[in-house]
Amino acid sequence: MFSRIFRLLLLGASLGLALSIAGTVLPAQAQESAGMALGDSCTACHGIDGQSQGSIPSIGGVDRTTLLNALVAFKAGKGDATIMNRIARGYTDAELAALADYFSSVKSK
């Protein structure tokens, strides 16, 4: 429990730093941390590391382009979704890219 809280605090700090550097290209490690921190909010539905245990699609290990295209479509109000169209509107394009980077890098189980 403590290590998870520490990890979340560390990721939150990394995300804050990454997002404060608006308009610049972030180092790969900062981009990965930002995606991981943003991805924590996805786990409630898509499971830890994007590995769903239910009827919600697993997104961990899915091709980056596929994920990014789906997220961008959801943000534009397209795609077949019940809630993702509303959720995706809350993210910037850079955040959607960071999410796609992170979840595509996760090894599917």
**82 band by pLDDT with thresholds 50, 70 and 90:** confident
pLDDT above 80 for 45: yes
**Nearest in space to 72 (alpha carbons), one of 59, 91, 56:** 91
Q: Which residue has the higher pLDDT, 14 or 39?
A: 39
Poorest-pLDDT segment among 5-14, 52-61, 68-77: 5-14
Q: How far from 13 is each of 89, 93, 98, CA to CA, in Å?
A: 23, 20, 16
How does the average pLDDT of the chain come out, rounded? 78
pLDDT above 70 for 9: no
**21 band by pLDDT with thresholds 50, 70 and 90:** very low
DSSP assignment, residue 41?
G
Distance, CA of 85 to chain centre? 15
pLDDT of residue 51: 92
pLDDT above 60 for 88: yes
* Structural contact between residues 96 and 75, judged by C-beta atoms closer than 8 angstroms: yes
Rounded to an integer, what distance in angstroms lies between the CA atom of residue 25 and that of residue 55? Answer: 36
How large is the angle between the packed helices 28-39 and 93-105, nearest 10 degrees? Answer: 90
Instruction: Report residue 52 as tokens.
Output: 């769903």
Map tokens 């239910």 to a residue: 54
* pTM of the predicted structure, to 2 decimals: 0.67
Domains of the chain: 2-105 (1.10.760.10)
pLDDT of residue 108: 63
Rounded to an integer, what distance in angstroms lies between the CA atom of residue 39 and that of residue 58? Answer: 13
